[in-house]
Amino acid sequence: MSKRQSIYLEGFGHVNPIPAACRVGPLLMTGLVNGTDPATGKVAATLEEQTALMFRHIRAIMAAAGGTTDDIVRISVWLKDRSQRGPLNEQWLAMFPDDQDRPARLSVQAGDLSGGILVQCEVTAYIPQSS
């Protein structure tokens, strides 16, 4: 059985005592990832800024876990207003430009986001073991 590895990022964290992600063997699961500014720890003001920061955190988590965004299997996204998917799609296409090589995505409306959060996600990835 593989040992669980907690993944923490400088400038990104949760209020509760939980890591940004957890890896067991090749499986990686994140906690909630949102658009906080790593310099201030505060949520960015706009949906565009929050979405860009969220994807920046995804890249950083994947690197800290020993993988890349190519290892992502699914991203589940919660939006304050699901009709406002433009910024999400823009960042999505920048990260995954090949329509034959994209992870699955679920986007749902979550009207109960707090603290100014307009978008947040969780990531599931499969990172092959190092040889």
Domain boundaries, the chain: 4-126
Tokens 């994807």: give the residue: 55
Q: What is the pLDDT along the chain (131 residues), one digit of tens a residue?
A: 469 999 999 888 777 789 999 999 999 999 999 999 999 989 999 999 999 999 999 999 999 999 999 999 999 999 999 999 999 999 999 999 999 999 999 999 997 888 899 999 999 999 998 64
From the list 95, 14, 111, the residue with the least C-alpha distance to 62 is 95
Fold of 4-126: 60s Ribosomal Protein L30; Chain: A; (3.30.1330)
CA distance to 22, 105, 128, per residue, from 68 (Å): 15, 17, 11
Beta-strand pair 72-79/27-30: unpaired
Q: Read off the tokens for 118.
A: 């307009």
